Amino acid sequence: MDQTPTALFDSYELDFRHIVDNVKEKLEASGNGEQRKAALRKVEIELDEADDIVSALEVEIQGIPQSIKSQYLPRLKQAKADLTRYKKLAKDVHAQHSRAELLARSGGGTGTSDDPYGEQNDRARLLAGTQTLEDGSRRLRDTHRIALEAEDQGADTLRNLRQQRETIENTRDTLRTADTNIDRASGTIKKMIRQMYKQRVMLSAMTVFIILLVITILYFKIVR
């Protein structure tokens, strides 16, 4: 697994580009009715995912070294701009689709002023269409609120993970420092032991020399 400081950023950006391509394809595709509705609902979900990924990119860029961060800031800015653009485009397409459905349900405005019942039917259809638009807007607001909450939770989770990773890295550095200190202490102890052995040998040699000297002196005294 790639452990470089930019690995997660690159991975998140790749996922973001894949989602944006899917959103673009769905928004540009032709279709109507339930199929188009399903595609637009899928676009909303994918844009929420893209929003979460942009939040993750904002968190990850904080951990990129300053020496190379300037290379990644424009990429984050571009991702934010793309997300904003496709959110607006999705909103416009959704509004167009809702208006088309409203016109289709109203029968193209076939009621006339000579037909009061037709006017009432048209009004009822328009009111129903307006209610549908309001319901859709409310669902969009709810979806946006849920996405913001999920974004906050995701950002908190990523921050916690980063703190845990930093703690692990600090612990690892501490262990490495301790290993280095142990190696140094071990080398010092070995030197002290060798020095002690040398002193013992020298002391033993001096003792033997003194004993031999005493014996020699006594020998000459006795012989004389």
Domain assignments of the chain as residue spans, ordered by start: 7-179
pTM: 0.47
Reported as a single tens digit per residue, the pLDDT across 33-70 is 788 888 899 999 999 999 999 999 999 999 999 999 99
Contact criterion met (CB below 8 Å) for 133 and 110 = no
Residue 84 has pLDDT above 90, yes or no: yes
Q: What is the pLDDT of residues 155-180, one digit of tens each?
A: 777 787 787 887 767 768 776 887 78
pLDDT of residue 127: 61
Give the helix ranges, DSSP H, for 106-115.
Answer: none
Reported as a pLDDT band with limits 50, 70 and 90, residue 113 is very low
More confident residue, 112 or 202: 202
Do residues 19 and 46 touch, judged by C-beta distance below 8 A?
Answer: yes
Q: What is the pLDDT of residue 224?
A: 67
1: three-class secondary structure by DSSP: coil
